[in-house]
């Protein structure tokens, strides 16, 4: 097909498409992108024509202070206005307005070529629920800051693969195409740049097949709105809070076991099995158990919170943590532990062991009791589910299907 024929077919498709016949919606967020938005819209329509798909191009104006909205409308896009500032806010509004069963997304600054849409749609036809661009093999000189290319993106991608269980080379690529029937836009609630990570976390947790498509990455047109350190911290924070196992539960279990081992070391020292120790492990044992119980309590509550919002599935191992820190019988157990701590002086061993045991039992009982009170307050505030959450029967794994 010649260039003239392609342009004629593109214009005919724009004029003939009706809301009921839309197959693909291209959503482009826009904040003062007058220089690049026209090109992005044109390339989006060209991509739809190449894929032989009936579609629409939505530009979500996020408070532009230039002629971005006028330029986008002049190039045939449907312009939507979103007053709440933020990358995620713009996409939430665009997804809500999109009428296609397939949604394509990407920036309007000229960095992504929407004419490559056929490659993404082919990945969906091959069984993927989400196709994401991978830019790292074809980054144009000067298009990506060195800090992002060699530190920020690789580190976040590595942590994401490790903690979430979905192996991707470029988690912050902005060009993506997905089926709304498999990846529900209503669950994407992040307001800022962490929206990009939330989409991938949801895909992993819902066992959506994700495919990478190699794409070029061009130098942006206009001024960048990205704030490296602020957006980087928000992304890392979101990733940590989406991975309570690695952030809290596993370290909590390790700290608690370390505390018990230090307690046994105290006993061995009192019995002269190891001889005189140059330091007292009794204090360290109580500190480790204190920190470990805190971490496990917070981690289990965070998993309950994620499950309440459909972002995690509770496993059999979570049932143990729920029984300890949220169960109706835990208050009785906590009181018993505290009383046992008070009676620990009856242990017939001289030295620091009795005090260490007493300290450990009182700390454990008090921690569980205080957390039960705090968890009740969280339930009243709506942060935790009020009723019993169904447990899954799969083994512990915080990867694709937790």
pLDDT for res 248 = 92
pLDDT digits (tens, 9 = 90+) for 200-248: 999 998 889 999 999 998 888 877 777 777 877 888 888 888 889 888 9
| pLDDT on residue 354 | 79
Out of 2.40.50.140, 3.90.550.10, 3.10.20.740, 2.20.28.10, the CATH code matching 3-241 is 3.90.550.10
With the C-alpha atoms ordered 168, 173, 176, 182, is the resulting torsion angle positive or negative?
positive
Given this model, what pLDDT does residue 108 score? 92
What was the pLDDT predicted at 389? 57
User: Rounded CA gap, 247 and 240, in Å?
Assistant: 6
Longest CA–CA separation in the chain, Å: 96
Distant-in-sequence, close-in-space partners of 288: CB < 8 Å, separation ≥ 6:
255, 256, 258, 259, 262
Three-class secondary structure assignment of the chain: CCHHHHHHHHHHHHHHCCHHHCCEEEEEEECCCCCCHHHHHHHHHHHHHHCCCCEEEEEEECCCCCCHHHHHHHCCCEEEECCCCCHHHHHHHHHHHCCCCEEEECCCCCCCCHHHHHHHHHHHHCCCCEEEEECCCCECCCCCCHHHHHHHHHHHHHHHHHHHCCCCCCCCCCCEEEECCCCCHHHCCCCCCCHHHHHHHHHHHCCCCEEEEECCECCCCCCCCCCHHHHHHHHHHHHHHCCHHHHHHHHHHHHHHHHHHHHHHHHHHHCCCCCCCCCCHHHHHHHHHHHHHHHHHHHHHHHHHHHHCCCCCCCHHHHHHHHHHCCCCHHHHHHHHHHHHHCHHHCCCCCCHHHHHHHHHHHHHHHHHHHHHHHHHHHHCCCCCCCCCCCCCCCCCCCCCC
The ranges of the chain with pLDDT < 70 are: 1-20, 138, 140, 142-150, 152, 270-280, 349-351, 387-402
> Which pLDDT does position 353 carry in this prediction?
75
In this predicted structure, what is the pLDDT of residue 396?
45
- pLDDT of res. 400: 37
The segment(s) of the chain belonging to CATH 3.90.550.10 are 3-241
Q: Are 83 and 192 in contact (CB under 8 A)?
A: no
Q: Please give the structure tokens belonging to residue 364.
A: 């454990």
Q: What is the pLDDT of residue 399?
A: 40
User: What pTM was estimated for this model as a whole?
Assistant: 0.76
């Amino acid at each position: 097909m010649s260039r003239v024929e392609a342009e004629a077919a593109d214009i005919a498709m724009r004029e003939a498409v009706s809301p009921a016949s839309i197959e693909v919606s291209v959503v482009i967020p826009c904040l003062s992108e007058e220089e690049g938005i026209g090109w992005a819209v044109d390339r989006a329509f060209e991509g739809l024509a190449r894929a032989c798909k009936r579609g629409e191009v939505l530009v979500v104006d996020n408070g532009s202070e230039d002629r971005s909205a006028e330029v986008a409308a002049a190039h045939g896009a449907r312009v939507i206005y979103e007053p709440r500032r933020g990358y995620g806010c713009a996409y939430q509004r665009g997804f809500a307005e999109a009428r296609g069963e397939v949604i394509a997304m990407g920036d309007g600054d000229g960095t992504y070529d929407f004419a490559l849409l056929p490659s993404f749609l082919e990945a969906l036809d091959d069984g993927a629920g989400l196709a994401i661009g991978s830019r790292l093999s074809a980054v144009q000189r000067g298009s990506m800051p060195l800090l992002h290319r060699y530190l920020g993106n690789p580190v976040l991608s590595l942590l994401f693969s490790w903690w979430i269980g979905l192996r991707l080379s470029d988690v912050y690529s902005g060009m993506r195409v997905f089926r709304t029937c498999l990846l529900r836009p209503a669950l994407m609630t992040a307001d800022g740049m962490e929206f990009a990570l939330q989409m991938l976390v949801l895909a992993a947790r819902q066992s959506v097949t994700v495919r990478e498509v190699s794409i070029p990455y061009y130098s942006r047109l206009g001024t960048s709105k990205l704030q490296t350190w602020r957006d980087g911290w928000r992304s890392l924070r979101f990733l940590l809070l989406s991975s309570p196992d690695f952030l809290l539960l596993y370290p909590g279990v390790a700290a608690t076991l370390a505390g018990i081992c230090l307690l046994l070391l105290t006993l061995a020292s009192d019995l002269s099995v190891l001889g005189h120790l140059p330091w007292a492990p009794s204090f360290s044992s109580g500190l480790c158990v204190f920190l470990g119980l805190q971490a496990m309590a917070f981690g289990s509550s965070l998993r309950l919170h994620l499950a309440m919002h459909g972002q995690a599935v509770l496993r059999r191992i979570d049932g143990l943590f729920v029984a300890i820190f949220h169960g109706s019988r835990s208050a009785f157990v906590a009181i018993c532990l505290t009383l046992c701590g008070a009676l620990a002086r009856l242990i017939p061993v001289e030295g620091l062991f009795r005090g260490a045991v007493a300290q450990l039992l009182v700390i454990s009982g008090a921690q569980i009791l205080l957390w039960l009170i705090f968890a009740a307050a969280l339930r009243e505030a709506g942060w935790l589910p009020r009723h019993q959450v169904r447990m899954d029967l799969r083994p512990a794994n915080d990867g694709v299907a937790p």
